[in-house]
Amino acid sequence: MNLFRTGILMALLTGIFLAVGYLIGGGAGMAMAFLFAAGTNLFAYWNSDKMVLSMYGARQVDETSAPELVHIVRRLAEADGLPMPRVFIAENDQPNAFATGRNPENAAVCATTGLLNRLNSEELAGVLAHELSHVKNRDTLTMTIVATIGGAVGMLANFAFFMGGRRNNPLGMVGAVLVAILAPLAAMLVQMAISRAREFEADRSGALLSGRPLWLASALQRIESAAGQIENPDAEANPATAHMFIINPLHGGGISSLFASHPSTEERIARLQAMAGEMGQAPKPGPWS
């Protein structure tokens, strides 16, 4: 159902792009804007893992430097039939984690030092199972396509604005201003909806992978509580990467709030608790051996 919903939302986002192009009336200009946005995002797709990991100053670790973390990732990856991803740690006191990479063969999983210091091994396994589910579900590819179309919408909206004062422009100045404001806003809302859908799906498939939905539920509650009090300066400086994290790393309002694409943590926890009930699991599951 989430996959179907994602497809519908992506079709809607494409429709917004085509509608803006139609209103502008320039097929050639629309094609050029799309090609430019596609090229930019294609570059980001091939280099997104390096770019994001560099933004957060993440360092790669192995069995020697971070044995518990790497062991958990390896065990989960093997259980899910995934290639072993590269494992990174970011020096950041806010507990959080994200996955990146264009496909399972080129994936990386990153945990912050705050996450490693505050979660027990079961909760950490729940979080890492969630991130590996993003890798398996190819959510990075999905969000790259979404970013490509969203970027094209923004470029066309700007094009409409700058053409607003021209005599032969069918929109007129008022129409151009409305398109410049409303089209990117509509595209952003659709992008947020797609991101929320993918988070719910990663919660579900990650909980199935670990076999213990309550591990992830407990981790989400602990991360949400701490993340609300501890700032993430790197995320604040790069708000467009916020959707990658398991919990929204941003604080406050302003431009940062526009990228708050995560679903309600309370709803996520409620769904995981319901899953645990359906699986007949006790409120406090036993240790992960």
pLDDT at 90: 97
pLDDT at 123: 97
**What's at 66, amino acid-wise?**
A
Could you tell me if residue 162 is inside a domain? yes
Q: Which of 78, 91, 105, 131 is catalytic?
A: 131
Could you tell me if residue 49 is inside a domain? yes
Could you tell me if residue 73 is inside a domain? no
Tens-digit pLDDT profile for residues 123-181? 999 999 999 999 998 887 776 666 666 666 776 777 666 655 444 455 556 556 666 67
Could you tell me if residue 88 is inside a domain? no
Q: How many structural domains comprise the chain? A: 1
Question: What's the burial of 187, exposed, middle or buried (CB within 10 Å: 0-12/13-18/19+)?
Answer: buried
Which range, of 135-139, 238-242, 248-252, averages the lowest pLDDT?
238-242
Could you tell me if residue 76 is inside a domain? no
Active site residue 131: yes
Could you tell me if residue 109 is inside a domain? no
Could you tell me if residue 97 is inside a domain? no
Could you tell me if residue 171 is inside a domain? yes
Percent of all residues in the chain with a pLDDT value above 90, rounded to a whole number: 45
The mean predicted confidence, pLDDT, of the chain is 80
Provide the phi-psi class of 284: left if phi over 0, else alpha when psi is between -120 and 50, else beta: beta
Of residues 19 and 70, more confidently modeled: 70
**Could you list the residue range(s) of the whole structural domain that residue 259 is in?**
2-60+141-278
Decide if 180 contacts 160 (C-beta within 8 A). yes
Q: String of b and e for 131-153 (b: at least 16 CB within 10 Å)?
A: bbbbbbbbbbebbbbbbbbbbbb
Decide if 17 contacts 156 (C-beta within 8 A). yes
Residue 38 has pLDDT above 80, yes or no: no
Sheet holding 108-112, edge to edge: 59-61, 86-90, 108-112, 97-100
pTM: 0.78
Backbone angles phi, psi at 111, to 5 degrees: -120, 145
pLDDT at 52: 85
pLDDT at 203: 96
